[in-house]
Amino acid sequence: MEHFKISKTKIIPKGTLLLSYGDICSYGYKVESGCLKSYVIDSVGKEHILQFAPEGWIIADLDGFTNKKPSQIFIDSIEESTVSFISKFNYEDLNDLDKKALVDMNTKYRNNLIATHKRIIGLLSATAKQRYIDFTETYPTLVQRLPLKFIASYIGITPEYLSDIRRKIAKK
Amino acid sequence: MEHFKISKTKIIPKGTLLLSYGDICSYGYKVESGCLKSYVIDSVGKEHILQFAPEGWIIADLDGFTNKKPSQIFIDSIEESTVSFISKFNYEDLNDLDKKALVDMNTKYRNNLIATHKRIIGLLSATAKQRYIDFTETYPTLVQRLPLKFIASYIGITPEYLSDIRRKIAKK
DNA sequence: AATAAAAATTAAGGTACCTTAAGAAATAAG
DNA sequence: CTTATTTCTTAAGGTACCTTAATTTTTATT
């Protein structure tokens, strides 16, 4: 299932910034071990997490990478991680891939799109409490590993309010 | 750019339900004229719009269509529309497509994913007022055509609150 | 044109979630 | 083991956005 040019892997210490706002995004990152996250920073300096990438996942600024735009997002490491660098993920190269690779890639995009749509449904229609419960059910292993403040950011609430929610759940 | 089996087009009157919750989703819908929308209905009966599909757009329950699951969503017509029915959008058939078709499809998925990520960023980090302004800038032609209550639903607020927002914007 | 139906507005009161700030608990570092 | 740092919790007060309900405006129907 490897269709791209992948450079040798690197060990990334915890807390390392791999991609910053405004950077030209030359790489996607394939996580072999550890965990990365992507996020935006809003006008008042608050961080909003777009994606977690534990082992096996690929993370990138898809828009910047594809269209050679400066990045709108940040990517850093939540844990010490082993990461492969994927280059040349752009449109021209799609034509160089063989059919099997294209079909696999299609399937990955499609599954990602389905998951992303589900997240939108949650943000539009569920309460913060329900989104937290959904997160724990969808990503039980991440819940073990990640600081709660990152989960709060991912589901779109403050750590303080997540703390309230957890207290109320525990009291039942 | 047509890669799928497309049946003859049909004229769909305004307000017609094309796909309902629980249905097996056998088709994607390609809109030739008019406009469709997809939406979910939450536990208190409130409608949340996932997508608008004006002319040129394709709309479907991607998860149900791909994985032959009962639909989680609804699709209906906002205006009288001319619609082509796309069948056999599933995995097996991807292998029957030629390379050009696969590359095109990849590009469509990728662009859709980029747009969907932007929507998530907005829902996580922007106020309702900002999301409304962003919508009017991103889809100026839709703003002309659509009832405001549908735009409110798409950006995740009530029609009443959108009305407040618009009044405040107008007062300046 | 008249009537009905749908969409939009307005306003009052309510709730989910946020901000700030401080302290407690857990984890990391010396 | 001790201290520093990060994470988590708690609480009080505030704001963005919601609910309900009534009214007006716009659009559709006969």
Q: Determine whether the interchain pair A126/B99 forms a contact, defined as Cβ–Cβ distance below 8 Å.
A: no
* Architecture of the CATH domain A1-94: Sandwich (2.60)
- C-alpha span between A13 and A20 (Å, rounded): 16
User: What are the residue ranges spanned by the domains of chain A?
Assistant: 1-94
Backbone angles phi, psi at A72, to 5 degrees: -95, -5
* pLDDT tens, position by position, A96-148: 788 888 999 999 999 999 999 999 999 999 999 999 999 999 999 999 999 99
For A96, the enclosing helix (H) or strand (E) is none
Instruction: Decide: A156 and B124 in contact? Cβ < 8 Å.
Output: yes
- C-alpha B138/C-alpha B86 separation (Å) is 27
- Select from B135, B60, B120, B155 the least CA-distant residue to A119: B120
| Shortest Cα distance, chain B CAs vs residue A24, angstroms | 17
A24-63 tens-digit pLDDT: 988 899 999 999 999 999 999 999 999 999 999 999 999 9
Class of domain B1-92: mainly beta
Helices B99-125 & B128-138 angle (0-180, nearest 10): 150
pLDDT at A93 over 80: no
Residue of least CA–C1' distance to C7: B147
Q: Which residues of B touch A46 (CB under 8 A)?
A: 125
Q: What tokens were used for A172? A: 């039942």
The residue ranking higher by pLDDT, A60 or B26, is A60
- The confidence band for B1, taking pLDDT boundaries of 50, 70 and 90, is very low
Token pair recorded at residue A13: 């210490």
- Burial label for B110, CB within 10 Å (0-12, 13-18, 19+), is buried
Share above pLDDT 70 across residues of chain A, in percent, rounded to a whole number: 92
Q: Do B117 and A63 touch (CB under 8 A)?
A: yes
Please report which helix (H) or strand (E) contains residue A51, including its range. Answer: strand A47-54
pLDDT at B69: 94
Interface test with A, best of B72, B120, B129, B158 (most A CBs within 10 A): B120
